[in-house]
Chain A
Amino acid sequence: MNVRKQAMTLTLNDELVEVLVKPYETLLDTLRETLGLTGPKEGCGTGDCGACTVHLDGKAVASCLVLALQARNRQVRTIEGLGTDDTLHPLQDAFVRHGVPQCGFCIPGVLMAAAALLAETPRPSDEEIRYGIAGNLCRCTGYTKMVTAIAEATAAVPQGAR
């Protein structure tokens, strides 16, 4: 297999980034290994667990199933770009207050899935919240606190926000 790297640009957390990638490396590997953003996690590597969830052009995707080059010239947002250095995103704030994370491995993916859900459905029902995070597996504790925290954050997220 050809291992010559190819250059590409993407907009990562609102900043234009140029990066060299191998032809068949995943977006997840580029984010973690080359760009140093270790928020997105590799759980299963086959799109079943949701720990690698990022936004691609505003949509929640499994970054372990995206070839890095498929993100060329597109918008990528990771958990590192959900809030700011000074202010947590309302979802992050609610997760902290409700003590949602235990080991924390699934949390970046859950937060990105929830943020994408709220962008699409600003006032989701509990059932919509559950389906919105149905692609994210948590093996510590369960989903009750997550759903409560997301429902509470819903009220704090202005319509149309990321």
Chain B
Amino acid sequence: MILPGSVKECVQALAEHGAAAKLVAGGTDLLPQLKNHLLKPGVVVDLSGVATLKKLTADKGLRIGAAVTARELERDGRLATGAYRGLAESGALVGSVQVRHLATLGGNICNAAPSADMIPPLLALDAEAVIAGPRGERRVPLRDFITGVRTTVLGADELLVELSVPDPGPHSGGAYLRHTPRRELDIAVVGVGSQVTLANGVCTKARIALAAVAPTPVHARAAERALEGQALTPQRIEEAAKLAVEAARPISDQRGSVEFRRHLVRVLTRRTLTTALARANGGQA
């Protein structure tokens, strides 16, 4: 086990061990995989000693270190209202409190499960992934970061270090909802993160990101376009919710059927858009 103290030392360890190395941050995904022998890394590189990965700064947008925990997103006062509330809501839904104190934002993203809760709100905020590697830093829009079920653009010699969220502006609101049979320790049947930004009563930007309805989290682009430039009436929100269903390509499995998931996309899109709109208008919904 390698215990680096800086991003630079992490990159060096990855350069030395390549694909044999596996990074561990919170360990909540990695440890069950190790225990079930799904994974046999040559060496584990522990990120818990890298302080810069744990920083969250809010100044004209957000910079969130990859090792910021779900619990920190849930409880950070800077995410508690308006624009970033969807991100806080997604953090509050991960695992149990014992898991949220460990599980990291970067881990949730790099694990790249289709049902990952913390990804849709960040997609809805147009977040960028900041990646460190042997040739320095590169930035990739989060929507391009995940390439398939549990696969990302990260090379074997790279690590995700930060999520960068551009300033959504003064009248922006976000919300995240998922459907699960029980609230805690469950996995989304469907998750929806919505973000709306307003100017003079008109929606200038709308983002709707869906989880657990495709191999990767996806944007409902037709629904977003139907809202932009419009006043957000309940009728327009309902039309967008119908359009969002078209972006979903769900499978039937033990958590839910195709039909049920499509229904949930419509319901959760309508609810998150309605809440995001209220928050953009300064409401505490």
Contact = CB atoms under 8 A, between A and B. Distances in A.
Interface of A: 1-2, 6, 23-24, 26, 45-48, 50, 53, 56, 59-62, 64-67, 69-70, 72, 113, 116-117, 131-132, 134-136
Top 4 A-B pairs, shortest CB-CB distance: A135-B96, A23-B1, A134-B184, A62-B98
Contacts of A1: 40, 42
Nearest to A120: B75
B44 A67 contact: yes
Interface stretch (B31-39, B147-155, B258-266, B269-277): B31-39
Interface residues of B, number: 28
B28 interface: yes
B185 A65 contact: no
A47 B101 contact: no
A113 B95 CA distance: 14
B102 interface: yes
B113 to A, nearest CB: 15
A135 B97 contact: yes
Interface in B60-96: 71, 95-96
B97 A113 contact: yes
B3 A113 contact: no
B48 interface: yes
Contact of B1 (A61, A67, A132, A135): A67
Interface in B40-68: 40, 42-44, 46, 48-49
Contacts of A131: 97, 184
Given A47-B32, A134-B185, A135-B184, A70 B27 contact: yes
B101 to A, nearest CB: 4
B98 A24 contact: no
Contact of B97 (A60, A65, A67, A70): A60
B46 A70 contact: yes
